[in-house]
Amino acid sequence: MWPCLLLLFSCGEQNPNAIDLDLNRPFITRVVPGDKKITVEFVAQNREYGFDGYNIYIAEDKTRVREQIVLSPTLVKPTLKADATTSVVTYTFTIEHNVTYYRSYTAGTVGNISIFNGVGYNIWVAAYRAQPEKESTYDLNLVSVVYPRPEFLSYTALNTTGLSFPDAVGRITFSNAGGAFCVIETNGGGVQDMGYASSLTGIVTAPTNGYSSAPCILHAGHLYGIVTSTGVYAKLFVRSVSGTFDSAVIDYCYQPTANVTSY
Amino acid sequence: MRLFLIFSFAVIAGLGCSDNPLAIIDDYNTPSDVRSAPSNAAIVIDFLSANDAVDFLGFNVYISSTSNMTDARVISNGASLPTFAYLAHTYSNIRLVITNDASVRPLTNGYTYYVAVSAYGTNNYLTRLFQQGYGGNQGGVIELMPTALSAAMPRREGVIVFSNNTFNASADDGIRYTQGAQTNCALFDDAGANEAAATADFYCSYTNIPGPGLVPYAVCGANNPNSFQMQSLGFQNDFYAMAQMPAGGYTAAGTHYICASNHMYALYSPNSGGTYVKIWVTSITVGARVTVTARWAAVVGSSKL
């Protein structure tokens, strides 16, 4: 056990700024998968001497997450500059395929990052001080995993059509039976109405239960969860439903990797 | 100068040969992502924490009736602080439940309270510096006052079990909301009226669908006297994790939603400046009779419940 207090005895000038403080650790609150991109949302409070901002690390292998850092647009650390603050602040950073830069410490390379749909990426955020260089303490529990997925925006669904996720095994069918525009999963999976949302990313973790094989009425502004018999999770957001219930404009996405609830 | 590198401390003190003692306080990790949910004469608080410091003792919860915390009081644990002792240094999702205590912190249903959480600890060295006039903290307290507030208005809640035997297009039993001195939901016996005349605020119904067969639906009675509309919020693990009811998306009374275990439903009525009811079906058993167990909470003038 560390002692509660450390006494420093020195003769000469005492520089309190040279004393090495631990940096408070940021917490990831939400990681939003996109189409070949990832948006990291985290909260933090830091005002340690020399505090510079936050470094975001990304890796497919959770145990090697510290080996590849996301770089700022000017290719330097920290990933995200930030000011010292006494209150908790929410930060957002988006990592995008072929746009965002990274540095690999193992390969010694710098370049555009590759983000593939259906692949799991582990994300860790560290508070950072440049001089002398230091980061907040690493903890495996602070690493979040996210799976980017393809998405299709403003798709017009007709009452005579359907969609497959990602193949014919999982399929949904639209209909307008009974004076409403409905969706039904027709091959052993299910649908559920997850309620009012502002967009397709209102919910980013699929519920693993609660799906029904019955037709589900589509309401404008609602988000719907879908699971296929093979464990593929999909969701759709209803932008509008036509007054005659023969079409609806939807945004939808599915997670290509089965049994992964990140979407 | 010799310099010791240290980790996981809240206070670092230095004594120079000719210098005054100095102390640098390393802030504890502030509780983050603080969320509150109202309960019955109680408030449920969830947040994230990971504190390394060895002199960290736990969390203080502050409560106020105003959003600028003008009458903020720390909730003491008996005579001592912190409010909740918590010595683990690992990353944790923490849930605290603040209950009504009429003498020290009344939590009255229908009143809004603002809560904040801080990380708290003490270090005797700071007390010594204070006593010696070097500017240490009185009582040796290490605490960064919280700025993130979360509002919650406690309200009544309960559990209702209703059971129907002829479930085809029938609303035998359901749930009816009433607003008296306090909001309330109770078992409503519709005494054989059929679905078209459904006046329950919430009930379950069956429809026989080719393929899936008999499918139970949750319905807000088409003729409910409280003018409620409804929507499904889908599968939820926790009655308190989903505290904020949606601002929109409610559909006309009589609309059918899938009824399944752990599904949550939000009811909204424009009456009384906005009345919300949330219903969480904890079980549904289908047999000769269909029995639904549901938790409910109701509130007037707030969409958070």
pLDDT at B190: 64
| Chain centroid offset of residue B24 CA | 36
Do residue B27 and residue A24 have CB atoms under 8 angstroms apart? yes
- The residues near B150 (Cβ < 8 Å, ≥ 6 apart) are B34, B35, B36, B45, B114, B115, B116
Residue A59 above 90 pLDDT? Answer: yes
Report the C-alpha gap between A31 and A91 in whole angstroms. 12
How high is the pLDDT of residue A49?
Answer: 87
The pLDDT score that the predictor gives to residue B1 is 27
CA distance B10 to B14: 13
pLDDT band of residue A86 (cuts 50, 70, 90) is confident
Amino acid found at B102: A
Least CB–CB distance from B231: residue in A5, A86, A195: A195
Residue B229: name the closest of B258, B264, B253 by CA.
Answer: B253
- Strands B150-152, B113-122: pairing kind: antiparallel
Q: A87-146 pLDDT, tens per residue?
A: 889 999 999 999 998 999 888 889 999 999 999 999 999 999 998 899 999 989 899 999
pLDDT of the residue at A13? 44
Question: Residue holding tokens 């593939």?
Answer: A116
Question: CB–CB of A6 and B4 under 8 A?
Answer: yes
Cβ within 8 Å of A, B 128-147: 144, 147
B263/A88 CB distance under 8 A = no
Residues of chain A in contact with residue B7, where contact means CB-CB under 8 angstroms, are 2, 22, 137
Portion 185-244 of B in contact with A at CB < 8 A: 207, 209, 211-212, 215, 231-235
Mutate to test the interface with A, among B29, B230, B231, B255 (most CBs of A within 10 A): B29
Q: How close B77 gets to chain A, by Cα (Å)?
A: 24
Stretches where chain B sits below pLDDT 50 are: 1-8, 16, 18, 167-169, 196
With cut-offs at 50, 70 and 90, classify the pLDDT of residue A4. very low
Q: Which of B8, B11, B12, B57 to mutate to test the interface with A (most CBs of A within 10 A)?
A: B12
Radius of gyration of chain A (CA): 23
- Residues 153-192, chain B: which have Cβ within 8 Å of A? none
For the cut 60, the answer to whether the pLDDT of residue A251 exceeds it is yes
Chain A contact present for B118, CB below 8 A: no
Q: Is there a contact between A254 and A166 (Cβ–Cβ < 8 Å)?
A: yes
Helix/strand/coil for A62: helix
Cα–Cα distance measured from residue A66 to residue B215, given in angstroms and rounded to the nearest whole number: 50
- Mark yes or no for CB contact A21/B8 under 8 Å: no
Mutation choice for B interface testing from A91, A141, A205, A222 by most B CBs within 10 A: A222
Q: Do residues B280 and B297 lie in contact, with contact meaning Cβ atoms separated by under 8 Å?
A: no
Cβ of B2 and A196 within 8 Å? no
The residue among A1, A13, A17, A20 with the most chain B CBs within 10 A of its CB, best to mutate, is A20
C-beta atoms of B144 and A24 within 8 A: no
Q: Which two tokens stand for residue A77?
A: 């650390």
Q: Which of B159, B43, B16 is nearest to A8 (CA)?
A: B16
Identify all chain B residues contacting A16, using CB atoms and an 8 Å cutoff.
14, 22, 24
Nearest residue on chain A to B231, judged by CA atoms? A195
**CA-based torsion, B55, B58, B64, B69: positive or negative:** positive
Give the gap in angstroms from C-alpha A28 to the nearest C-alpha of chain B: 9
Task: Specify the pLDDT at position B19.
Answer: 53
> pLDDT band at A64, cuts 50/70/90?
very high
Would the pLDDT of A263 be above 80?
Answer: yes
Cβ contact (<8 Å) for B16 and A11?
A: yes
Position A6 confidence tier, pLDDT thresholds 50, 70, 90: very low
Give just the sign of the alpha carbon dihedral B76, B80, B86, B89. positive
Is A188's Cβ below 8 Å from some Cβ in B?
no
Distance, CA of A228 to chain centre: 22
C-beta atoms of B209 and A214 within 8 A: yes
- Chain B residues in contact with A137 (beta carbon < 8 A): 7-8, 52
Q: In what order do the strands lie in the sheet with A182-185?
A: A162-164, A171-175, A182-185, A216-217
User: Measured between CA atoms, how close is A131 to chain B, in angstroms?
Assistant: 15
Is the minimum CB–CB distance between B17 and chain A shorter than 8 Å?
A: yes
Out of A40-44, A249-253, B63-67, which region has the weakest mean confidence (pLDDT)? B63-67
Extract the tokens encoding B88: 């683990």
pLDDT per residue as tens digits for the range A208-227 = 999 999 999 999 999 999 99
Q: What is the reported pLDDT for A14?
A: 45
Beta-carbon-side half-sphere exposure of residue A54 (alpha carbons within 13 Å): 27
The residues facing B85 across adjacent strands are B58
Contacts of A188 in chain B (CB under 8 A): none
DSSP B123-148: -HHHHHHHHTTS---GGGEEEPPP--
A151-179 pLDDT tens trace: 999 999 999 999 998 877 778 999 998 78
